[in-house]
Structure 1
Amino acid sequence: MTDILIITNYFPPETGAASNRIFHLANGLQKHNFNVSVLTPLPNYPTGQIFEDYKGKFKSSSIENNIIIHRLWIYASNSKNKLLRLIAMLSYSFSLCWFFAWNKIPKTVIIQSPPLLVAFTSMLFLRSKKRKLILNVSDLWPIAGLELGAFKKNFSYKLLEKIERFNYKHTDLVLGQSNEIINHVKSLFPEKDTFLYRNYPDFIAPEIPERAESKGKLKMVYAGLLGIAQGIYKLCQELDYTHVQLHIYGTGAEREKIQALISNNSELDVIYHGEVSRDKLHEALIGYDLTIIPLLNRIYGSVPSKIFEYARLGLPMIYFGGGEGEEIIEQYNLGWIAEAGNYNNLNTIISKIKSLDLELKNREQIIKTAIEYFDFSKQLDLLIEKI
């Protein structure tokens, strides 16, 4: 069996797309007879506090699903203070250095990026002609941070650009979740070996029930992180509720603001359901008419993994984020496109879907598309050939 190490900032029991993505990768490799181990911080996302079962520990090691998991100390924080965020990243980098110094590292290592500093630490200490380093790039930092308003083009930004280039230069293979990521890496290092590795889901979907014709308002759902980038608070304010009722699942930085908005504005037809397990969420999602995938601003390189997960559930989508995601929705006929940031256009599309009695996308066809084109196992087989 080939030994392989995965270094990541997110892993179950943490929730979210990043955690699910790395778990599926680790689990898939293990099923293909790789001896998989994972290096990750003590669970703390998205609360910014170490989970109760891990409090007071400097390190925790366990075997789960035949995967060896080492959870290392981190100064956990989800503070908006940039200095505290930096300290959190540096603390995990320190733990990684400590682990590298005292443990034998496999010859094949997959490193998740971002965070850039964690990837940089791994690249710096694990470079070796005898070792293959694979960089899994899920978002383009620092470009994404600049587009989100988290960075300005100053000395710090230029330093992050140098770190980004260092990481690309010293990896043997770059896995990119979008064509935009692959193109960006190739623009910097044309000869770099790359592989388009989409965030395809790996789960058994619940049986889709027969649906009666939708009466009354369209029931539209958002499920996921309630963060600044998603802009759910603004979405709640800008929606025209004449034809739609919005249901929300998840948690994040905007949760309390959203709850207060709902509580103080009874005219907003919004229902907040809190955070539920992934299995329960899937069962709930298939009961809605359609879902919305929003981004407050178009982020270069970003393709929300929700597209592929919702397709597997047969859930029609309104995509409201711009970029490569639009191309996927249109190419595979998964739903409708609203111009990113244009709430008048979004409301117009919702109105047409309802008032003009436009046929909701065929759910069975969406599922067939997902099975044919978004197959996790087929993609993993191709990746293994590269490893």
Structure 2
Amino acid sequence: MTPARILILSQHFWPETFRINEIAQSLQEAGCSVSILTGQPNYPEGRVFDGYRSTSMGPQAWEGMTIYRVPLRPRGTGGARNLVLNYLSFMASASVIGPWVLRRQPFDVVFVYGTSPILQALAGVVLKHVKRATLVTWVQDLWPESLETTGYIRNPRALAAVGAVVRWLYRRSDLLLAQSHAFVQSVQRMAGDTPVVYHPNPGERAFSALVPDAAPALMLPEGFNIVFAGNLGTVQALDTLIEAADQLRDAPEVRWILVGSGARSAWLAEEILQRGLGERVVLAGRFPPEAMPGILAQASALLVSLVRSPIMSQTIPSKVQAYLAAGRPIIASMDGEGAEVVRASGAGLACPAEDATALADAVRHLRRLAPIERQRMGQAGQTYYARHFEPAALARQLITRFDEARRRVQST
């Protein structure tokens, strides 16, 4: 009972760099017919990409799939108001214009990629009824908890109202997938009778297609290079990284290479300048996913970090999977499930979130290890990745989840 026709609902999609792009490709290669309903690309710079318009709509061919785009308000250069308007505009467009854009297109499954804000799942509920399809929502972030953690909403009544909406959305899905084991209980408390199942984010397909002799897009300098790759945002505890770099002034061979961009890029540049860390902390900029294996392979160690909070301790950042696949030692400066994956895999070291001294000590410890010991860590990570996060295997498992959900719906 393979679902031949899947509609992915995601506010972000190619040419924006999100893991759902590769999941769509893996589902298609596994035999599904995949379409995508999304907005106009504008992440992370906040302006609509060249060749697109915020008010346009319609289909676009990509990698043998069809992307259906609806209008939205770009997120702009920052600020809570701009973000809220960006989120609400997509939710409204996908709910109202989406069914019209997708007219006469039948689907078996509507698959919501539930990054923040989960409120985009409202369009999934609409499309479930319009298309008479099974609705599967993949929870990538816990709401309203994440709103409180990031400080966007602090008013208890407002948080309770958001919680009521999320509860309503969860209970109208036919299946809820949780990206970490720790998410399952939190989601289940709000889900009513809707089944909740753990389904992790897969690793990056680019690691499977790596050409060993290809020239890296970024050559790292000589020395002990610690690479941080991904979003440079508020929850990544980048002040802890800066403080640890300051504490390691006695180890001039240690360099921190930050590959990515985000809301704290400007703050990082200023902090590096003020502390005189220009030779030790490098802002390398963003690179496409296909360039990351060649960059990560050069690292002496790979860093993943998060702020200290109950919700962050339940999260497995998607970069963990990429790091495991890269076969390099990992330093996890965070609490909870993400750190436990690093420990359980044997791929590296974990230290408490937002503890700069512990992070600096972990770097010193890893640097003192014999190269063969660090190589064994990397190999252990790759073995764990193959068992738990390989993209093609997880795509097949996802299709099985879809089939099971459809059977339950048809039997009721």
TM-score normalised per structure 1: 0.90
1:189/1:141 CA distance change after superposition, 3 Å = closer
The one-letter code sitting in structure 2 at the alignment partner of 1:22 is I
The one-letter code sitting in structure 1 at the alignment partner of 2:286 is E
Counterpart in the other structure of 2:217: none
Q: Higher relative CO (CA 8 A, sep ≥ 6), structure 1 or 2?
A: 2
Indicate if the aligned counterparts of 2:321 and 2:389 stay in contact, CA closer than 8 A: yes
1:385 corresponds to which of 400, 405, 409: 400
Counterpart in the other structure of 1:174: 176
2:227 corresponds to which of 215, 221, 228: 221
Q: CA deviation at 1:125?
A: 5.5
1:138/1:267 CA distance change after superposition, 3 Å = closer
Counterpart in the other structure of 2:406: none
Counterpart in the other structure of 2:389: 374
Match status 1:265 vs 2:263: no
Counterpart in the other structure of 1:109: 110
Counterpart in the other structure of 1:206: 210
Q: Deviations over 1:2-48 (max 9, x none)?
A: 22111001111112xxx1x2112211221232221101111000011
Counterpart in the other structure of 1:59: 57
- List aligned pairs for 1:262-341, cutoff 5 A: 262-267=272-277, 269-298=280-309, 299-341=312-354
- The whole-number CA distance in structure 2 between the counterparts of 1:141 and 1:370 is 28
Indicate if the aligned counterparts of 1:221 and 1:247 stay in contact, CA closer than 8 A: yes
Q: Secondary structure at the match of 1:247?
A: strand
The one-letter code sitting in structure 2 at the alignment partner of 1:182 is V
1:55/1:234 CA distance change after superposition, 3 Å = farther
Indicate if the aligned counterparts of 1:135 and 1:171 stay in contact, CA closer than 8 A: yes
- List aligned pairs for 1:177-192, cutoff 5 A: 177-189=179-191, 191-192=193-194
Indicate if the aligned counterparts of 1:205 and 1:312 stay in contact, CA closer than 8 A: no
1:236 corresponds to which of 221, 242, 247: 242
Which structure has more helix as a fraction of its residues? Answer: 2
- The whole-number CA distance in structure 2 between the counterparts of 1:344 and 1:252 is 25
- The whole-number CA distance in structure 1 between the counterparts of 2:211 and 2:387 is 18
Runs of 4+ in structure 1 off by over 4 angstroms are: 355-358
| % identical equivalent positions | 22
Unaligned stretches of 5+ residues in structure 1: 210-214
Q: Deviations over 1:24-77 (max 9, x none)?
A: 221122123222110111100001110011136511421111111012211001
Per mean C-alpha deviation after superposition, the further-off stretch among 86-95 and 44-53 is 86-95
Indicate if the aligned counterparts of 1:208 and 1:286 stay in contact, CA closer than 8 A: no
Match status 1:123 vs 2:131: no
1:67/1:295 CA distance change after superposition, 3 Å = same
Q: CA deviation at 1:175?
A: 1.3
Per mean C-alpha deviation after superposition, the further-off stretch among 339-348 and 184-193 is 184-193
- The number of residues matched between the two structures is 378
The one-letter code sitting in structure 2 at the alignment partner of 1:157 is L
Q: Secondary structure at the match of 1:368?
A: helix
Indicate if the aligned counterparts of 1:176 and 1:196 stay in contact, CA closer than 8 A: yes
- List aligned pairs for 1:154-165, cutoff 5 A: 154-165=156-167
How big is the alpha-carbon RMSD for the aligned residues of Structure 1 and Structure 2? 2.4
Q: CA deviation at 1:107?
A: 3.4
2:92 corresponds to which of 94, 107, 113: 94
- The whole-number CA distance in structure 1 between the counterparts of 2:65 and 2:222 is 48
1:248 corresponds to which of 234, 245, 258: 258
Q: Deviations over 1:203-235 (max 9, x none)?
A: 3253668xxxxx985211111111111122442
Indicate if the aligned counterparts of 1:218 and 1:354 stay in contact, CA closer than 8 A: yes
Indicate if the aligned counterparts of 1:147 and 1:297 stay in contact, CA closer than 8 A: no
Q: Deviations over 1:311-341 (max 9, x none)?
A: 1110211001212111111111111001111
1:301/1:369 CA distance change after superposition, 3 Å = closer
Per mean C-alpha deviation after superposition, the further-off stretch among 154-163 and 41-50 is 154-163
Counterpart in the other structure of 1:212: none
The one-letter code sitting in structure 1 at the alignment partner of 2:90 is Y
Q: Secondary structure at the match of 1:170?
A: coil
Indicate if the aligned counterparts of 2:30 and 2:395 stay in contact, CA closer than 8 A: no
- The whole-number CA distance in structure 2 between the counterparts of 1:326 and 1:33 is 35
The one-letter code sitting in structure 2 at the alignment partner of 1:187 is R
The one-letter code sitting in structure 2 at the alignment partner of 1:265 is R
1:85 corresponds to which of 83, 86, 106: 83
Q: Secondary structure at the match of 2:374?
A: coil
1:95/1:361 CA distance change after superposition, 3 Å = same
TM-score normalised per structure 2: 0.85
